[in-house]
Structure 1
Amino acid sequence: MKSKQFPKQFKWGVTISSYQNEGAYNSHGKGPSIWDTFTHKTSFKKGNGNTATDFYSNYKADIAHVKALNLDCFRFSLSWSRIFPLGVGDVNAEGVKFYHDVIDYALELGIEPWVTLYHWDLPQALQDQGGWTNRNILHWFETYVEFCTKEYGLKVKTWIILNEPMSFVGLGYYMGMHAPGKKGVSNFLPAAHHAALCQSLGGRIVRKNVEKASIGTTFSCSYVRPFNRRVIHKHAAVRVDALLNRFFLEPALGMGYPTDAFAGLNFMSKYMKPGDEELLPFDFDFIGVQYYFKVVAKFSLLPPILFATEVPAEKRDVKINAMNLEIYPKGLYKMLEKFNAYPQIKSIYITESGVCFEDELIDGKVNDKNRINYFKKTFKYTLKAIENNMPIKGYFIWTLVDNFEWAEGIKPRFGIIHNDFSTQKRTIKKSGLWLKRFLSKRNNKI
């Protein structure tokens, strides 16, 4: 039987983010972000991204690795507070130049730069005024996106507006687990609505300022299943799915918030202003699906409104990653199927997918065969989706180099390149070498 292969035009890339990689947190004119503040609290015990992988100094070597591994695209985010140290107002020329240097070097090596405008590191000066809970964020974000698109739009043609809005709003403004550490529905609902508005606002600005732009936004996606067949657990899973997978997507598609499945979202009306319903949609060129794990949900009296909770993976006798989340590659196909069912979606990119382990460097090598197996399976399911006529256009691996993994610190390693955080020495893992061979002849056979 002949091996199956990906289309020649299929894009293969890798993704990083500013706070998790750049370092240089208080130098070269950069202002503090909410993640600087959050990780510098004495109560936070997982370290910080002050240095991270020092991409600020090592960007040429890292982008050269992208080229050496036969990848087509390099997705990175702009640090808002590196460009606008106070969120608005004076521009930091050194920060602006840094991103020109990154873009220029990628282009010099024949690597296509993909820019993410917001990957969670809000300027602290804006958080001091309420951050995403303050409706003025629309004006602040507009100023930021106007500048970035005019500054880099001649070189960069693919733009992603937000990275996983449910993650930074849910974890940062409801659960308090991520920066800025806020909790409660009264923080979550306005922050979520303003993020949804900024998602479409950013898209309109890019369309206006960048000729022939390809514009997308990305969503964290989890395959949700009920704990068992009992009706209360099935309904709980529907609510969790609406929260995790539909909440930010459907407003962008002109469908409004998914109140049909999650009546608690009717509370959002308190923050809706006249005209907002018309401002929520935007005709994105593509949607980014970001998949890592499966969720099993069951009915629970807490938290109220949602009345559902997750059954931890470690209690379900399943394979788990270094963050105790279930490793379930087939879930990627399920999510591609789910997103493909929306007729408004033109194209889909897997803008992040990967798996973390506690990889060890032994005798100068990292034998991460479990990661290779993960990629083989998710690549197979991606190809299956393409063969079933789903418009899947590319796959971006999370991530290039082991980095600072937010509230989890540096213990979970997602990279295809190992990083020694004490020396910043990079070592390509077995998975990276496998990927290089896989992409070498561009036939991409499974």
Structure 2
Amino acid sequence: MARRVLACAGGALLCALGVAHALTLLPHDVRPGHEVQHFIGNHSRYTLLDPVFSSFFTLLDNGLLMTTADLTPLLDQPVSLAILEQTPYSSAAHSLQLYVVDRRRMLHFAATGLLIGGIAENAMPGTTVDLPPIKATALVDVGPIAYKIVKGNKDGVFALVEKEKGDFDPNVRSVVTEGEIQIVTTRPLDTELESMYKLVIQATDVHGVSKAKLAVQVDVVNENDNAPYFEKEVYFFTVNGTKDENGPNGTARWQRFSNIGKVKANDADDDRVYYSLMSPSNLAVIVPQTGELILAGEPDSHEAELKVIAHDTGIPPRESKPTRVFLEFVVRDRKDLPTLHREKRRVTRAVRPTKRIEFTEADGEVEGRNVFTLEKETDRETFKIRDENLWVTVEASGVVKVKKKWDYEELGPEKTIDFWVTITNAGNGGKS
């Protein structure tokens, strides 16, 4: 069996081989337990015949050849292992050629660990993934290097090209070059289908002797390509009123600022959704953050129609098709209404006017900062926020504080922080 060893810069290296069997290169610093090769046969049992190297290698009965010690003493030395394969009916001998090389002289990637890059959703085919240029190197000249994606390229959505060369063929599995390579897309990607790809790129010298692998993670950056959509195309709500016993015949009373109902929209991009009326109305208002419809005025007919639009916070922002909301106003006699029994009499006072105050984003920079104080009509009044709010809290004294640092981009198209406050009068137990 002939073997040719050439002297190269930095020490002796097996650069070309004329052998009957394939050569396996091993870095000198692999740890014990490193898998060298796995022989797989039909009901076969394997035995390592070389006692000289038994302190460095072991061969399990199932055909797994692995290291058992530090290989530094074998550095730059050819190792020939003889393996006996036995079956119930026959036996055969195998020869395995190994060569232990300083890892720095082997083919390797400059990047260590996981390389992370990104690509915009819906990018045109041939778009380069945002990554540093990729190149495998060695301390000695190994000539052109073949690169290919060996793992994670689901449906062939990525291809390799030489740096600064725009043409690519998705059917070409490998690129041979002495320069750098880049990853490009072969088709537009969709975050909603796959938001991340984990690839493994393998580099091999032209002789197939030295190999290196690089793990790459490609994140698909979401683009706001989905508009919000309502769960229903049409909503129907009934608003109950009562006959006004003290008013002219046929007049009715309506509880202002009572809850009419709630609309709901979803967004496939998982952006926050905010709501607004398509046309301003004196009859009802909508809470932008929740989609809750509130009665603001008295109806002048038995029916009314509103149109609501949902907006998202993506870039660019998108809005839904309007949903239709039909309101039916029903007047009931007080005797038809259920009697509400309370142990303590409560006095319900008129809803106070909406307070609107303008601030800048900088006013909400510090969490816990006092923003403003609600005004009391009597010293006995205490305040409590009605629903949990992301941005502000209300103390019993009426002090409104920053709960979370205000973010202008997250406030939605209305750019408002809306909340309801319940006011309790300790003197008479009334609520406002």
Structure-1-length-normalised TM-score: 0.18
Q: With CA pairs under 8 Å and 6+ residues apart, which has the higher RCO, 1 or 2? A: 1
State the structure with more CA Rg.
2
Structure whose residues are more often helix by fraction: 1
Structure whose residues are more often strand by fraction: 2
